[in-house]
């Protein structure tokens, strides 16, 4: 599958998973650990921003790298990165979070669209997995990540419906 198609499917799946949820549902903790839907969406937005910063040089772009800088400053601690970008999102509105998610998705499409097919499939660009290529990283870091969290949101919505049906 082409990387832009992969991005589109992953984004659509995540956004679709939130459809039909009330504002209160977006604030309810426990969707993924203690996190709410708001916090998951903010977390995904931050990681996708990190992804943009990571792949930009492969597209011939020199862009600021605040998410990569934060991750390095946190010594690679997912917990500290997630605390900054995910946990703190509960103060934002659903609309603000979706707008930020859409903006980073547009940026991903822009950047990834500039990367040649040859570059997507060149191995050795990932220091931690030299046998893999950028497309492998896209599948893991973006596609798989969004699908995992989308599934958690869907299960949350299904539990809510079951609970409401049991009451009614």
**Torsion angles phi and psi, residue 13, rounded to 5:** -60, -45
**Torsion angles phi and psi, residue 35, rounded to 5:** -75, 150
119 within 8 A of 136, measured Cβ to Cβ: no
CATH number at residue 70: 1.20.120.450
Give every CB contact of residue 31 below 8 A, 6+ residues apart in sequence: 37, 40, 152, 153, 156
| pLDDT interval class at 79 (50, 70, 90) | confident
Domain count, the chain: 1
87 within 8 A of 35, measured Cβ to Cβ: yes
Q: Show the domain range for 45.
A: 3-167
Tell me which residue of 105, 90, 76 sits closest to 40, measured CA to CA. 90
Answer yes or no: pTM beyond 0.85: yes
Distance CA 168, CA 161 (A): 10
**pLDDT tens sequence across 118-151:** 999 999 999 999 999 999 999 999 999 999 999 9
């Amino acid at each position: 599958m082409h990387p832009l198609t992969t991005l589109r499917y992953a984004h659509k799946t995540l956004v679709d998973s939130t459809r039909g949820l009330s504002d209160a549902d977006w604030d309810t903790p426990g969707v993924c650990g203690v996190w709410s839907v708001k916090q998951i969406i903010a977390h995904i937005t931050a990681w996708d921003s990190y992804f943009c910063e990571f792949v930009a040089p492969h597209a011939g772009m020199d862009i600021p790298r605040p998410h990569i800088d934060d991750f390095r400053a946190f010594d690679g601690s997912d917990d500290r990165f997630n605390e900054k970008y995910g946990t703190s999102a509960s103060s934002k509105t659903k609309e603000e979070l979706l707008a930020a998610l859409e903006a980073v998705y547009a940026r991903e499409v822009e950047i990834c669209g500039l990367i040649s097919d040859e570059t997507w499939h060149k191995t050795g660009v990932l220091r931690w997995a030299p046998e893999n290529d950028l497309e492998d990283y896209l599948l893991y870091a973006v596609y798989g990540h969004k699908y995992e969290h989308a599934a958690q949101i869907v299960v949350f919505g299904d539990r809510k419906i079951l609970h409401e049906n049991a009451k009614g």
